[in-house]
């Protein structure tokens, strides 16, 4: 379905059988009473139940101030500090309890108790303070999966300085864009980290991001992964500060957490949209933290005695919400792993699960498909025992679901698919694990207090439960919702609200959040999310905008024009195919093909590399001058070409198909 089409499509999906949650799980679940849905039916007051999980310096006056939609203010008047809530307040009962269990790729371990976390967060907050960071300064982090990442986030939160973590796999240009957009004066990085057996030189990305001087950074704080600095790391005088030296000066320092307004910014998380620039989803403190704490407890069903492992990277929203803020807010033990799942062998994940006795495990369908492809023999040597398995990021195919259920869950764990987005802050569609039967391939029902609907292109609601696909929307705001896009309210309005809202109205009921996904709802009320309806792909659970890829590709000097379309991939979900038009007189060659692939690896990151590079003589343009990527997607996936009447020249797709397929 494309953005321009108003028709809905019928999604004919074979119905799947239900599986019951095991009684042993139900017996121990944090939520086993369906009355929760009624409590949250009291809108918006139901959400106070989540806010009550936190310690507030000042209680809120209003649960939701919706007087200026779609700029919503949750728990207005309330004050709190996120670092205090994730660390200090647990010291009374949990000082010695493990907060973070870190496994380095080479195999070393750190067990960080809440008491240690308190010390390390305070000391690093003192370092940040010593270089000038104060309340409301945006601190950019470019850190991999090392304990210093959650520590830095919590230290920022302690000072009331919003953080903006950029996934470590992003390269210099992507980092530079995000630094510039956030107007950040401070960057925190690390000399290197371990990945697939290599000790990578990571700081060089920060160096080259800052090289051309277009980003104005006063201070780069540099952590060290090993005792000695990475042999290739260079420190720039006057700009780079070695954290290890500074920490020595601040041993034992304690800084009072700054009391923040519920609506003060906690962090920015850049994500891909339909235009070239990444957009900074801005999350506040009170609503966000309430929502992730609540969903960690009720959906991930974490208890104080569990060892919980969200096998994701903190560089994306999943890790922010469900490795760091949610689990730590409720005093959990959260596992972090630095490296690759197949290093040094393909059983590494299960080895770690056994080693730490992990009982709740969260990952992506991409990872499940990969484990499935590797084969169950890699699991067999390990004695792990999960009671709860969850996934996020992409549609979960019933086949992969069954494999996960059988081989990872040993047919005795609950399997829960969760749908959400960077913008939603936390999970918004998913079954509460003890309250609903599982159905492979479905994300399940709305979370308590959440009101999804499916609309046709004209904005009319499609009959609930009819199995007809349309635009997935959320009709009422919830506490985890983004506040806006950083310094870009207009884009916030146009990306999420304009399409289906009455934008003249100041009644919040006339405003509808558009998720950019298509979905169907079956007769049992379960949703199934089909995929993005904008020019955004989902590569191995990572969101990638076509425009970002295309802007990188046209940097290759021989390239005149480029368009990117998603091709279905058995493991990664989708991979980008690049359609490239070369400049006049340039012959296609293997060198140019490699240049195209390399420029994407260099500008964005290896994870974004194109699958196929197709040299073509034209691209399909509409009369209004937009590239119709849908047609390229059909060619990439060997599907029949759909309607081409809006094209400038309707013979183009057939021509491209011939050029690509050579017949």
Q: List residues binding ligand WT7 (CB under 6 A).
A: 271, 317-318, 392-395, 417-422, 443, 515-517, 529, 531-532, 538, 543
Closer CB to ligand WT7, residue 515 or residue 578? 515
In whole angstroms, how far apart are CA 288 and each of 314, 330, 357, 529?
Answer: 16, 14, 29, 24
* Contacts of 216 by beta carbon, 8 Å cutoff, 6+ apart: 183, 185
Neighbour-count burial of 246, counting CB atoms closer than 10 A to its CB (0-12 exposed, 13-18 middle, 19+ buried): middle
Closer CB to ligand WT7, residue 81 or residue 318? 318
Closer CB to ligand WT7, residue 230 or residue 543? 543
Neighbour-count burial of 397, counting CB atoms closer than 10 A to its CB (0-12 exposed, 13-18 middle, 19+ buried): middle
Minimum distance of ligand WT7 from residue 443's CB (angstroms): 5
Q: In the structure encoding, which two tokens stand for residue 619, read together?
A: 């691209």
Closer CB to ligand WT7, residue 207 or residue 313? 313
Minimum distance of ligand WT7 from residue 509's CB (angstroms): 24
Q: Are 47 and 40 in contact (CB under 8 A)?
A: yes
3 state DSSP class of 60: coil
Closer CB to ligand WT7, residue 199 or residue 607? 607
Minimum distance of ligand WT7 from residue 541's CB (angstroms): 6
Q: Are 267 and 281 in contact (CB under 8 A)?
A: no
Closest listed residue to residue 138, CA positions, set 187, 82, 211 = 187
* Contacts of 5 by beta carbon, 8 Å cutoff, 6+ apart: 457
Q: Alpha helices, DSSP H only, in 220-347?
A: 243-249, 286-298, 317-319, 326-329
* Number of CB atoms found within 10 A of residue 594's CB: 12
Neighbour-count burial of 8, counting CB atoms closer than 10 A to its CB (0-12 exposed, 13-18 middle, 19+ buried): buried
Closer CB to ligand WT7, residue 209 or residue 317? 317
Q: Are 483 and 493 in contact (CB under 8 A)?
A: no
Closer CB to ligand WT7, residue 308 or residue 420? 420
Minimum distance of ligand WT7 from residue 426's CB (angstroms): 9
Q: In what order do the strands lie in the sheet with 219-223?
A: 240-242, 219-223, 186-190, 139-141, 163-165, 265-271, 279-284, 484-485
Minimum distance of ligand WT7 from residue 371's CB (angstroms): 17
In whole angstroms, how far apart are CA 445 and each of 527, 532, 607?
Answer: 6, 19, 32
Minimum distance of ligand WT7 from residue 328's CB (angstroms): 18
Closer CB to ligand WT7, residue 8 or residue 422? 422
Closer CB to ligand WT7, residue 85 or residue 421? 421
DSSP code per residue over 202-218: -HHHHHHHHHTS-S--S
Q: In the structure encoding, which two tokens stand for residue 22, read together?
A: 């095991």
Minimum distance of ligand WT7 from residue 191's CB (angstroms): 28
Minimum distance of ligand WT7 from residue 631's CB (angstroms): 21
With vertex at residue 548, the alpha carbon angle to CA 546 and CA 551, rounded to the nearest 5 degrees, is 105
Closer CB to ligand WT7, residue 295 or residue 516? 516
Minimum distance of ligand WT7 from residue 321's CB (angstroms): 8
Closest listed residue to residue 389, CA positions, set 417, 357, 415 = 415
Q: Are 229 and 191 in contact (CB under 8 A)?
A: yes
Closer CB to ligand WT7, residue 128 or residue 293? 293
Closer CB to ligand WT7, residue 105 or residue 177? 177
How far is Cα 241 from Cα 222, in angstroms, rounded to an integer? 6
Minimum distance of ligand WT7 from residue 492's CB (angstroms): 15
Minimum distance of ligand WT7 from residue 524's CB (angstroms): 17
* Number of CB atoms found within 10 A of residue 242's CB: 16
Minimum distance of ligand WT7 from residue 305's CB (angstroms): 26
């Amino acid at each position: 379905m494309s953005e321009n089409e108003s028709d809905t499509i019928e999604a004919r999906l074979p119905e799947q059988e239900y599986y019951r949650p095991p009684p042993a799980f139900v017996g121990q679940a944090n939520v086993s009473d369906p009355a929760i849905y009624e409590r949250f039916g009291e809108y918006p007051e139901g959400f106070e139940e989540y806010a009550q999980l936190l310690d507030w310096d000042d209680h809120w006056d209003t649960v939701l101030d919706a007087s200026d939609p779609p700029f919503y203010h949750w728990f207005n008047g309330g004050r709190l500090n996120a670092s205090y809530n994730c660390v200090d307040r647990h010291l009374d009962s949990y000082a010695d309890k493990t907060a973070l269990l870190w496994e380095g790729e080479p195999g070393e371990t750190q067990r960080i108790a809440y008491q240690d976390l308190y010390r390390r967060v305070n000391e690093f907050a003192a370092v940040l303070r010593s270089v000038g960071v104060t309340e409301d300064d945006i601190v950019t982090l470019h850190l991999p999966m090392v304990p210093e990442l959650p520590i830095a986030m919590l230290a920022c939160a302690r000072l009331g300085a919003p953080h903006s973590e950029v996934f470590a796999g992003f390269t210099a240009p992507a980092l530079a864009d995000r630094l510039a957009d956030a107007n950040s004066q401070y960057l925190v990085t690390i000399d290197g980290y371990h990945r697939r057996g290599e000790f990578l030189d990571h700081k060089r990305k920060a160096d080259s991001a800052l090289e051309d001087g277009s980003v104005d950074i006063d201070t780069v704080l540099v952590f060290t992964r090993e005792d000695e600095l990475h042999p290739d790391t260079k420190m720039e005088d006057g700009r780079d500060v070695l954290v290890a030296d500074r920490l020595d000066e601040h041993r034992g320092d304690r800084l009072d957490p700054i009391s923040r307004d519920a609506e003060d910014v906690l962090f920015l998380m850049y994500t891909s949209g339909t235009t070239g620039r990444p957009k900074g989803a801005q999350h506040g403190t009170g609503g966000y933290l309430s929502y992730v704490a609540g969903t960690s407890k009720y959906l991930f069903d974490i208890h104080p005695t569990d060892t919980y492992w969200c096998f994701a990277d903190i560089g994306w929203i999943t890790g922010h919400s469900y490795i760091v803020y949610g689990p730590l807010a409720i005093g959990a033990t959260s596992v972090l792993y630095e490296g690759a799942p197949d290093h040094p062998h393909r059983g590494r994940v299960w080895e770690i699960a056994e080693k730490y006795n992990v009982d709740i495990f969260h990952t992506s369908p991409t990872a499940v498909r990969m484990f499935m492809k590797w084969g169950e023999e890699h699991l067999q040597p390990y004695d792990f025992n999960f009671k709860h398995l969850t996934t996020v990021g992409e549609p979960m195919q019933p086949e992969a679901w069954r494999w996960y259920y059988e081989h990872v869950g040993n047919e005795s764990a609950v399997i829960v698919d969760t749908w959400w987005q960077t913008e939603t802050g936390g999970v918004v569609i998913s079954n509460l694990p003890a309250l609903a039967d599982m159905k492979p391939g479905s994300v399940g029902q709305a979370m308590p207090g959440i009101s999804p609907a499916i609309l046709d292109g004209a904005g009319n609601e499609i009959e609930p439960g009819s199995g007809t696909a349309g635009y997935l929307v959320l009709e009422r705001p919830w506490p985890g919702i983004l506040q806006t896009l950083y310094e870009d309210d207009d884009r916030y309005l146009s990306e999420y609200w304009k399409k289906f809202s009455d934008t003249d109205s100041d009644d919040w009921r006339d405003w509808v959040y558009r998720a950019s996904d298509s979905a169907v709802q079956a007769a049992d009320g379960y949703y199934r999310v089909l995929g993005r309806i904008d020019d955004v792909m989902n590569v191995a659970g990572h969101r990638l905008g076509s425009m970002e890829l295309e802007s990188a590709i046209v940097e290759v000097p021989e390239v005149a024009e480029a368009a990117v379309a998603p091709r279905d991939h058995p493991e990664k979900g989708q991979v980008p195919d690049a359609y490239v038009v070369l400049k006049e007189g340039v012959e296609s060659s293997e060198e140019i093909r490699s240049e195209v692939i390399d420029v994407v690896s260099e500008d964005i990151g290896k994870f974004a590399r194109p699958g196929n590079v197709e040299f073509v003589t034209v691209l399909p343009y509409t009369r209004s001058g937009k590239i119709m990527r849908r047609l390229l997607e059909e060619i990439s996936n060997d599907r029949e070409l759909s309607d081409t009447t809006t094209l400038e020249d309707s013979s183009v797709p057939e021509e491209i198909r011939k050029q690509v397929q050579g017949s």
